[in-house]
């Protein structure tokens, strides 16, 4: 599977993360919130919505489960069809396409296949 680069990331509430890390990501063009996540889940990474698509202001509360690890998050319905990844504490991840009309998201393939803002930060500091 090819390496996927994701531009945005929200972290698990209570996780030890950089001081700038946040559990919600919201501004005029982005709106994603991480509600809860298992201890082995580090974050939820995602790309921007496609150009020309506007935020709807309508949110979908979604759940993703992989190997007994669950994550709940809320996204603006404009994220339908956008690529997301559940990132685990060992830096593996599971990539999926967000389906805002489906409560349970389908996760496939758990591997070292994503580059997130935190991975880019650690690499630039020489830790990876």
The domain spans of the chain are 4-124
pTM, 2 dp: 0.79
Q: How far apart are the first and last CA of the chain?
A: 21
Predicted local confidence at residue 1, as pLDDT: 57
Instruction: Considering only residues 13 and 89, tell me which one the structure prediction assigns the higher pLDDT.
Output: 89
**Least reliable range by pLDDT among 7-16, 41-50, 80-89:** 7-16
Query: What's the rounded mean pLDDT across residues 48-74?
Result: 85
Predicted local confidence at residue 80, as pLDDT: 93
The whole-chain average pLDDT of the chain stands at 78
Q: Which residues pair with 11 in a beta bridge?
A: 43
Predicted local confidence at residue 65, as pLDDT: 83
């Amino acid at each position: 599977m090819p390496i996927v680069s994701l531009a945005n990331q929200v972290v698990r509430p209570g996780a030890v993360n950089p001081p700038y890390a946040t559990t919600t990501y919201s501004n005029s063009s982005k709106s994603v919130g991480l509600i809860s996540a298992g201890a082995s889940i580090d974050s939820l990474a995602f790309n921007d919505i496609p150009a020309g698509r506007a935020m709807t202001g309508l949110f979908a509360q979604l759940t993703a489960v992989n190997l007994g690890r669950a994550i709940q998050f809320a996204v603006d319905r404009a994220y339908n069809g956008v690529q997301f990844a559940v990132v685990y504490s060992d830096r593996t991840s599971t990539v999926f396409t967000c389906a805002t009309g489906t409560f349970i998201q389908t996760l496939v393939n758990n591997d070292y296949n994503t580059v997130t803002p935190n991975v880019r930060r650690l690499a630039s500091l020489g830790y990876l």
